[in-house]
Structure 1
Amino acid sequence: MENWTIDINCDVGEGIGNEADLFPLISSCNIACGGHAGDVDSISEIIKLAKIHNVKIGAHPSYPDKANFGREVMNISNSELKQSIIHQVSTFKKILEREEGQFHHIKAHGALYNQTAKDEVLAMIYLDAIGEYKDTVPIYVPYKSVVAEKATDLGFRIMFEAFGDRNYNDDLSLVSRKMDNSLIKQPEKVLDHILPIIQEGNVVSVKNKRIAIQAETICIHGDTSSALEILMYLSKELPNHKVQLEK
């Protein structure tokens, strides 16, 4: 029987304070770097925790919008957005170097992540802002997204990401958080959701269609109320399905 290995990541440093519980159960993390959440102190603290638990460390830039947690599209100029992303990631990198951590990846957050998946102009702004890291770290991107295509054209290394606690539409976009069925909170349903992604290369949409997808890393949102419960369950059950956590 075939065996599989998967990276599981969490968005962290967002003020929830559950990182010490989550880190033994995941293999990579995306640290908020001041856009939607986080500051110098929280970045430093989370990096130290990640090193203790051998969790790969990534930057998690977003729209500079703490009021809306980076989950709404901001009406700011392209140059303002670019400069904000540059500042967020450079701040993160300086702290990471001070803490002697290894820079593993970059993953956009919230509305920035969702918009760059479908908006070519915004994708190019984002990629331009992080261009200096192109040869050193990969970026987490959705499968068949605009940002994935443009990043590949520009020579970025990419890692396809899927979401274990979010439902998908038929076009592989995420069901809006404004909808009641956007989140998957029950651990058993999360397992049922991600096993086809890992083992078969498809995901079952909210309309019960099987859609082709690729994922090298799967996100469980750290701010989901049942995040710890989900991760504890996956840690116990994934090996029973020949799936090992990538460390």
Structure 2
Amino acid sequence: MKPVRTLIAIATLAAFGAGAAQAATLAEIQKAGVFRVGTEGTYPPFTYHDASGNLTGFDVDIARAIAAKLGVKVEFLEGRWDGLIAGIDADRYDAVINEVGITDARKKKYDFSEPYIASKAALIVRSDDDTIKSFADLKGKTAAQSLSSNFGQIAKDNGADLIGTDGFAQSIALVIQHRADATVNDSLSYLDFKKHKPNAPVKLVATLPNADYSGVIIAKNQPKLLAAINTALDEMKADGTYLKISQKYFGEDVSK
């Protein structure tokens, strides 16, 4: 039989949850020589497996570059999005690098690095269409949109009639097929699309000024680790590493 004190300790741990594991410090990460990064591996072009089965993507390359700046190797631990951030609480990862948007709600529980990528609402039309040059020109036009998305709401607010779709690929297809006049969508998704299909007959005519930013997310109260990650990101931008990665996946600088 276990001692009563042990049973009480186990009961107390269960009552408060086992997610209070102590996050590794920068010194511990560098001593171990490994930077553990949580990622999906199913979200191209950010984190996915190539035809050979190798993990690759924009965020994957960013993580590898950060680890190199920290002087350690990176270990990727893949998981589903809905449980990814919780892996930080359980000390499964030292960080999650997976296009995690920086929000006030998340900042209450976790710390974020400085933003390393920006996404804007982009207005996309056919290449031969000169009637839509701004969001205001959507009035009376049709827009192919995921109906529950923020992008769909932007199109609707600007007077467009919405045609429901199940995502970016279908929205672009309807525009190309003349079944919709335009789509409001993620600027990063558009850049990735044009990188793979440069001759597709669509063009970006406008973006909204306000961007959504993503950052490296880590446990609270790790100031040295956070500072080291931010320094790594600054050095990557200064020495050209960031731009090289950005151009590889998007054809341009997507930091702002």
User: Whose Rg is larger?
Assistant: 2
TM-score strictly above 0.5: no
The two structures have a TM-score, normalised by structure 1, of: 0.28
Structure ranking higher in strand proportion:
2
The two structures have a TM-score, normalised by structure 2, of: 0.28
